[in-house]
Amino acid sequence: MALDKGCFKIVSTGHFTPEGVLSNHDLEKIVDTTDEWITSRTGIKERRIVNGKNTSDLATIAAMNAIEKANYDKDKIDLIIVATFTAELRSPSMACRVQAKLGLDKPGILAFDINAACTGFIYGLNIAEKMMYSGSYKSALVIGAEVISKFTDYKDRNTCVLFGDGAGAMIIEKDESKEVIFNVQTKSDNDLILYVDDYVNMNGPKVYQFASRVIKSSVNGVLEYGNIDRSQIKKIIPHQANIRIIQSASKALKMPMESFYVNIHKYGNTSAASIPIALDEMLEEETMEAGDKVILVGFGAGLTSGACLLTF
């Protein structure tokens, strides 16, 4: 486990989900499945699918949403990290496209992508925090953005019911008074139980077992490292992959389901975008007091996993 402490303040968050809705009933017409099966096995009722937009468009709209909410001077941003596995170009990176689309022309900006699948947003925050702590960067824009519909085989009922498109963003600045704790890691996966070539492929039950175990160990890792009692945690924002994975984590951690923010019914699994979308929606519904603590926790292909304890 790579456990470490750092600090940053959350300046703003934002998200964007495309207008196009693909419901379970729509999928019933495409593959041999039912709304009842999908709902009971996954908790998903519908997902959003792009029409005419690309990953960098979604990322830019989510970033603009964060910028506008805080009325933030975007020219302060000097670091842009996009977590994605669905970039529309091999090069340049989505972060470079976001920089261009936001019109950020100031010298000294660094922009790059990372691919850590569904844990990508947490890895992105970890890297941004380290780069700001080194003193070189002052304002980071971290985004998780995916157009998974372009990598989904709509003839494969094992995968096509699970995924959707979307993007979430966070602007952070260095602030010594706001502690963050990271617990990030990668477990080698010789059998490739989850991978993407032309399409997403997976061994569902094996991924399920890994995910159920790793949420507990990731969350316990940050709590123990920070000497923090779970009663001090206002909310856990888990990667939205399957409601049953979240329910089993709730049981294993002995934390009620009300402690977990869930929006999987609306969007399905949006990979690196799932945690920042959920965080932004949670913040639209709940007011955070200074000092409130929230844990983000994710897992994905790699096998990557990680948790991040945020202080508001």
User: Contacts with ligand COA in 46-105 (CB under 6 A)?
Assistant: none
- 33 belongs to the binding site for ligand COA (CB under 6 A): yes
Report the nearest approach of ligand COA to the CB of residue 310 (Å): 21
The Cα angle at residue 84 between residues 80 and 89, in degrees rounded to 5:
90
Distances (CA, A) of 106 to 6, 60, 176, 199, 226: 27, 17, 26, 38, 38
Nearest residue (beta carbon) to ligand COA: 204
- 152 belongs to the binding site for ligand COA (CB under 6 A): no
Count CB neighbours of 187 within 10 A.
Answer: 11
- 269 belongs to the binding site for ligand COA (CB under 6 A): yes
Distance of CA 289 to the CA centre of its chain: 23
The token pair at 174 is: 């260095």
Of 10 and 301, CB closest to ligand COA:
301
Does the annotation mark 239 as catalytic? yes
User: Active site residue: 65, 126, 242, 269, which one?
Assistant: 269
Compose the 271-310 pattern: x for residues touching ligand COA by CB under 6 A, - for all others.
-----------------------------x----------
Does the annotation mark 118 as catalytic? yes
**What distance in Å separates the CA atoms of residue 270 and residue 47, rounded to the nearest whole number?**
9
Compose the 221-260 pattern: x for residues touching ligand COA by CB under 6 A, - for all others.
--------------------xx------------------
Beta strands, E only, the chain: 2-7, 9-16, 20-23, 46-49, 79-83, 110-114, 139-146, 166-173, 179-186, 194-196, 200-202, 233-238, 293-300, 304-311
Residue from 62, 128, 180, 202 binding ligand COA (CB under 6 A): 202
Q: Look at residue 298 and give its three-state secondary structure.
A: strand
Report the nearest approach of ligand COA to the CB of residue 296 (Å): 14
Task: Please list the active-site residues.
Answer: 118, 239, 269
